Structure 1
Amino acid sequence: MLYGILAAVTSLLIAALLAALFRGLGLRAGVFERRPQGSARRRPVPLLGGAAVLAATCLVAGAGEWTGVAPLGDGVGGLLVAGAAVGALGLVADVWRLRARVLVAGTAVAATCVVPYDRTGVPAGILAVGWIVFVTLAFRALDHADGVAGTVGVITAFGIGACAAGEVMDGLAVLLSVLAAALTGFLMHNWYPARVGLGACGSLFTGFLLAASGVFTRAGYGLGEGAGVLFSLTALATADLVLVAVSRRAGGRSLLRSGADHLGHRLRRLGLTPQGTVVLAGLGAFGAVLVGVLAHTGWAGDGAVLWVVGGALVVVLLLLRVPVHPVHPVHGHRRVPVHGPRRGASTQVTEHATGRLRVRSG
């Protein structure tokens, strides 16, 4: 217990320090995106905060394993290595950009390597691989607004950590508490207006670690009840990805292009402030995760999980009715219309992911 508290505090401090250091590095290297602030302004947000989360988690958890003070246990060390590999792939995507299919394939390979087939069986193990990939991409998509992905990640990590503790998986529980602490340190710099972002590195690493840890804790349980608990533990991220997929499919838009049609964007259009959006998303995630933990430990029945599924479905259907303005970047660029000085004239600014602007008069 004492080591767990010490490890969490250390992870928080390391992540907070590294996030501050990586912010300047990201600005100098041009690894940032521009996010809206107010009605017209757009601010640069470096994308290396996820690297701070990954480094803090691996350093602290790895130190516990190396010293033998807090060994991660069977398979958990491999899970951390696979998660770090997925995070490294995300870092490459942040810096040089990769096709979405490469990220999906890399995540699928990593998931295939960590699923405990001896406890799940091969058919359920294959489904688990698909689930890990789905949740990992869901957390990647959840990183669309300041504070949302980090807040939901902290809540989910504590929930799955509680499930792991209930299964006497102490090493996995410590790993998840270290991850939650690292995300908390990162959130010190990510609350609106964010000074650093999670990026593909942090969001993929977080999503993979959480999804795979959930599979570890539910391995050996029935497929139906296991799926219900796993959905509850990741309900908000799952609902966001389903919302975007249904919306874009109905509108004939590409599923792989970014757009202002996520859960956070729609809540903002309903009048919520950026901070209010994070709080509401956090409350939704907390309620669903609490049900998942109670169902896992036997304090709640299957009916409680069905309430979470029904609630997520209602949220998706209601938010589908909120109008959005999708953004379609071309080859990693965003086009922002800017009115020129002459009446009827306009200038189109093409903004590259590195922050450099190209201006073309029309």
Structure 2
Amino acid sequence: MLYGITAATAALLLTAVLAAVLRVPALRAGIVDRRWQRPLPVPGGIAVVSVTGLIAWTGEWTGVVPLGDGVGRLIVAAGAVALLGLVADVWRLRARVLVAGTAVAAACVVPYDETGAGGGILAVGWIVFSSLAFKGLDHADGLAGTVGVVTAFGAGACAAAEVMDGLAVLLSVFAAALTGFLMHNWRPARVGLGAGGALFTGFLLSSAAVFTRAGYALAPTVGVLFCLGAVAAADFLLVVLARRAARRGPLRRGPGHLAHRLRRLGLTTQGAVVVLGAGCFAAVLVGVLVHTGWAGEGAVLWVAGGAAVAVVVLLRIPVQQPRRTASTQVSARLRVRNG
């Protein structure tokens, strides 16, 4: 208990300091997110991944909190996904490369002896989906970090209920690291999470949830996993439906996410993050209660219904497409001409 508190405190402070230190070098190196009106340096992911891995391996090396079976492999795979995302931050990799790399990493961490072959394939699909959904969730200052912190505490509670102490401590350290990052990411953001940090967050949380539900029946497991990732899943579904109707690629950047549409309703960016954070807390709470047996499996239907209603309602809210400048139009014509 004492080590967990000490480790979480150290993770929060180290991440906050490291993100601030790396901000200027990342800006000079061009490791930035250009979705905003100004280039936003994205060393937040590097700080979160580095600190989480460092503290987790310190607990394993000292023997104070052993990670447990498969958790070390999970950290390595999540780090590999984060590295792939970092490459995407620098060189703008194609979406199919991110999907393939994340799928390979997910296939290496799923506990097939407990899930079975069919369940393992579904688990790999869920991890890939959650990782990409979290990457898409990083569309507003503070949103991905807030949802990540809430989800990490929920997944950690599930791990603690299964007496997976190493995994529970890892998730608490990760939640603290994200909190340290949020000190620089709340609007107006000075540091971003980046594709590396967002993919790491989605991969780690979804894989940890799969670990805690391994061995349970498939139907209730699907319900619990959905509750733990409801906000990211709803955002991804909303974007896919909207862009399919507009005949645009579902993985292309642009407006149309949850926070964008909530802002069109009159909420500020901070207000939209608070609303989505509250929704995430409610969904995660239901997932934890169902996992621990304090609520029936039917409670998941309330979360699914709420997510579906939110998607249908917000889908009817128009969003303003980004204006194409002259330079953007010229670049588009050149891409078309060059194939």
Aligned residue among 120, 136, 143 for 1:141: 136
Matched, 1:3 2:11: no
Equivalence for 2:73 = 78
Equivalence for 1:312 = 307
Aligned residue among 241, 244, 248 for 1:249: 244
Following superposition, the deviation at residue 256 of structure 1 comes to: 2.3
Larger helix proportion of the pair: 2
Equivalence for 1:18 = 18
Asked if structure 2 preserves the Cα contact closer than 8 Å seen for 1:14 and 1:56, the reply is yes
Asked if structure 1 preserves the Cα contact closer than 8 Å seen for 2:19 and 2:181, the reply is yes
SS at 2:215's partner residue?
Answer: coil
Asked if structure 1 preserves the Cα contact closer than 8 Å seen for 2:60 and 2:66, the reply is yes
One-letter amino acid of the counterpart of residue 192, structure 2: G
One-letter amino acid of the counterpart of residue 21, structure 2: L
Identity of aligned residues (%): 69
SS at 2:108's partner residue?
Answer: helix
SS at 2:7's partner residue?
Answer: helix
TM-score normalised by L of structure 1: 0.89
One-letter amino acid of the counterpart of residue 8, structure 1: A
Matched, 1:283 2:278: yes
Following superposition, the deviation at residue 44 of structure 1 comes to: 2.6
Equivalence for 1:121 = 116
1-side partners of 2:30 and 2:186: how far apart? 21
Q: Deviations over 1:167-189 (max 9, x none)?
A: 00000000000110000000000
1-side partners of 2:272 and 2:141: how far apart? 9
Equivalence for 1:89 = 84
Following superposition, the deviation at residue 35 of structure 1 comes to: 4.9
Following superposition, the deviation at residue 349 of structure 1 comes to: 4.2
Following superposition, the deviation at residue 326 of structure 1 comes to: 3.5
Asked if structure 2 preserves the Cα contact closer than 8 Å seen for 1:71 and 1:171, the reply is yes
Following superposition, the deviation at residue 33 of structure 1 comes to: 2.6
Matched, 1:292 2:284: no
Gap runs ≥5 in structure 1: 37-41, 328-334, 338-347, 352-362
Aligned residue among 131, 136, 154 for 2:126: 131
2-side partners of 1:35 and 1:109: how far apart? 28
One-letter amino acid of the counterpart of residue 177, structure 1: S
Report matched runs for 1:1-362 at 5 Å.
1-36=1-36, 42-327=37-322, 336-337=324-325, 348-350=326-328
One-letter amino acid of the counterpart of residue 7, structure 2: A
Q: Deviations over 1:132-174 (max 9, x none)?
A: 0000100000001100000000000000000000000000000
1-side partners of 2:12 and 2:303: how far apart? 31
SS at 1:43's partner residue?
Answer: coil
2-side partners of 1:220 and 1:237: how far apart? 25
1-side partners of 2:198 and 2:232: how far apart? 11
Q: Deviations over 1:2-49 (max 9, x none)?
A: 00001101111111011101211111112213455xxxxx23311121
Aligned length: 329
One-letter amino acid of the counterpart of residue 251, structure 2: L
Aligned CA RMSD, in angstroms, stands at 1.2
Following superposition, the deviation at residue 325 of structure 1 comes to: 2.6
2-side partners of 1:94 and 1:162: how far apart? 32
SS at 2:302's partner residue?
Answer: helix
Asked if structure 1 preserves the Cα contact closer than 8 Å seen for 2:33 and 2:89, the reply is no
Asked if structure 1 preserves the Cα contact closer than 8 Å seen for 2:130 and 2:206, the reply is yes
1-side partners of 2:313 and 2:212: how far apart? 33
2-side partners of 1:21 and 1:326: how far apart? 35
Asked if structure 2 preserves the Cα contact closer than 8 Å seen for 1:259 and 1:325, the reply is no
2-side partners of 1:136 and 1:49: how far apart? 17
1-side partners of 2:251 and 2:159: how far apart? 34
Which sits farther off after the overlay, 215-224 or 17-26? 17-26
SS at 1:189's partner residue?
Answer: helix
Equivalence for 2:337 = none
Q: Deviations over 1:201-230 (max 9, x none)?
A: 100001000000000000011000000010
Asked if structure 2 preserves the Cα contact closer than 8 Å seen for 1:132 and 1:208, the reply is yes
SS at 1:258's partner residue?
Answer: coil
Q: Deviations over 1:261-314 (max 9, x none)?
A: 101111111111111011111000000000000000000001211100000000
Following superposition, the deviation at residue 336 of structure 1 comes to: 4.5
Gap runs ≥5 in structure 2: 330-339
TM-score normalised by L of structure 2: 0.95
SS at 2:59's partner residue?
Answer: helix
Asked if structure 2 preserves the Cα contact closer than 8 Å seen for 1:292 and 1:305, the reply is yes
Larger Rg: 1
SS at 2:187's partner residue?
Answer: coil
Asked if structure 1 preserves the Cα contact closer than 8 Å seen for 2:33 and 2:194, the reply is no
Which sits farther off after the overlay, 68-77 or 21-30? 21-30
Equivalence for 2:333 = none
